[in-house]
Structure 1
């Protein structure tokens, strides 16, 4: 429910000046750092709350209420006040693409940055860095459906909702189908271009993302330091491996005492009833 949302960070409510609505793996981490260097306050990127389950759960609540393709969809689309409750202090939002349409409605005055990549290059990066480590195979399934819920986590399930929301599908496996994701990728970029006026849109290829076009669009002076070029692909893969291991160990810690109790009760009952039998 909205009243249970945990804000991204504490601070005063600020105007949302920039929305970055390119897909994951299109330089969102680099752009987050660049916007921070340009003095935008509390720039949001989901990596900042991966280790904060309550805050991450708030993004899951936003998905359920706003992403229509999800099986968990409630239809309670958020208004500006509700988005402000989650992102209040943030002047710029990156890594929020699954909520693009609702955020555009909530913040029509914000400038929009749309970073794109060649589809084949992007799809390979998305599949190998994000989708396969988090969603494909028995280990991610056990982590998301069995182990994480046992220790009060929903990280995998929330991320699965993001992937389905990107491509408008209700089946997670379709978010790994190359033909389906191509159609979803093209549809998203075409839709954003059709909705955002040209004077509020920076439509740019990742290869061309640099200080000059960004600062011209945002009407900022070009910084002295080099444009940040971050590639978190290895970190993402390692993070999923750590999450799966942690969830397994955490679930095991909960299971083992219960199993020992059951084993002890079973042994005691056999001993007790066997003893009674001999006494008879």
Structure 2
């Protein structure tokens, strides 16, 4: 039987391998929270400092334990990127390698998180994200996904490999999977696809199979909606409205200081309202 408390499962699978569904399933059978990139993005901004430290290779074991003290396990980046470090911090934890067809994985990354990140790193989205206080978060996601894993023969990070095309991305996939198989003792490793459902996962963790259906979470549509929301909001707030106000001032000959102040005040009042509404819209982002 898996331990009743503590961090007991290290997800070593790459993002876009059904990790949202896996997270939902593990929350049920491990009876606790599961770390995921969604935690970094939407739930624990207070952890950002730690992941920046981990990227530099400067995080110590006590800091790892402190950050993950409220979690029973983790999947997706950043957990899977640091699975070897976590094996040292939690030597009794088991390792789950979520997999799928590597070409479909490449297409999923390219059309979801990579597409989103490219939009977020482009102007005027960069200005808009700074305005609503989300620029640092998206930069951290980019940093975590752009660092080259030590196993990568091309020395490209996930985003770099995807940008280079299918061949490079699939090679990174195989490098990662082969390294996990090499590094993790067979008795502590489960290689598993979400479509296999509860059976192998519950047997691996020595827990009862739940009576409820295995959760199926597909966040691709929501991710694309969020991407479009930020893109449209950026062009509206940073480009179109300021241009309209400048044209209005010119056309109506509103050149006095009073008129300019009124227009500026109206613009910044609109900004405040729009920022509040957009933050609410993105509060579940990730």
Q: Could you tell me which of 74, 77, 89 is aligned with 1:106?
A: 89
Q: Could you tell me which of 198, 202, 222 is aligned with 1:215?
A: 202
Note the C-alpha offset of 1:180.
2.4
- Mapped pair 1:242 → 2:207: no
Following the alignment from structure 2 to structure 1, what is the Cα–Cα distance between the partners of residues 26 and 233?
A: 33
Q: Could you tell me which of 122, 141, 145 is aligned with 1:141?
A: 122
Q: Could you tell me which of 39, 47, 62 is aligned with 1:58?
A: 47
Would you say the 8 A contact 1:80–1:106 is kept in 2?
yes
Count of aligned pairs between the two proteins: 240
- Mapped pair 1:21 → 2:7: no
Change (3 A) 1:125 1:171: closer
Would you say the 8 A contact 1:16–1:110 is kept in 2?
yes
TM-score after normalising by structure 2: 0.71
Note the C-alpha offset of 1:219.
0.3
Residue 222 of structure 1 aligns to a residue whose secondary structure is coil
Would you say the 8 A contact 1:98–1:165 is kept in 2?
no
Q: Could you tell me which of 133, 139, 160 is aligned with 2:142?
A: 160
Note the C-alpha offset of 1:186.
1.2
Note the C-alpha offset of 1:134.
2.1
Change (3 A) 1:102 1:122: same
In the alignment, structure 1 segments of 5+ residues that lack a partner are: 1-13, 68-73, 269-280
Following the alignment from structure 2 to structure 1, what is the Cα–Cα distance between the partners of residues 80 and 198?
A: 22
Note the C-alpha offset of 1:75.
3.6
Following the alignment from structure 1 to structure 2, what is the Cα–Cα distance between the partners of residues 99 and 135?
A: 24
TM-score after normalising by structure 1: 0.72
Note the C-alpha offset of 1:215.
0.8
Note the C-alpha offset of 1:132.
1.6
In the alignment, structure 2 segments of 5+ residues that lack a partner are: 150-154, 258-286
Would you say the 8 A contact 2:99–2:192 is kept in 1?
yes
Following the alignment from structure 1 to structure 2, what is the Cα–Cα distance between the partners of residues 105 and 248?
A: 46
Would you say the 8 A contact 2:145–2:157 is kept in 1?
no
Following the alignment from structure 1 to structure 2, what is the Cα–Cα distance between the partners of residues 222 and 103?
A: 27
- Aligned Cα root-mean-square deviation (Å): 3.4
Following the alignment from structure 2 to structure 1, what is the Cα–Cα distance between the partners of residues 238 and 217?
A: 34
Residue deviations 1:20-62 (CA, integer Å, cap 9, x gap): 121111111111111122143122233245335xx34634x34
Question: Equivalent residues in 2 for 1:72-151 (5 A)?
Answer: 74-76=56-58, 78-95=59-76, 96-135=79-118, 140-142=121-123, 145-151=126-132
Note the C-alpha offset of 1:172.
5.3
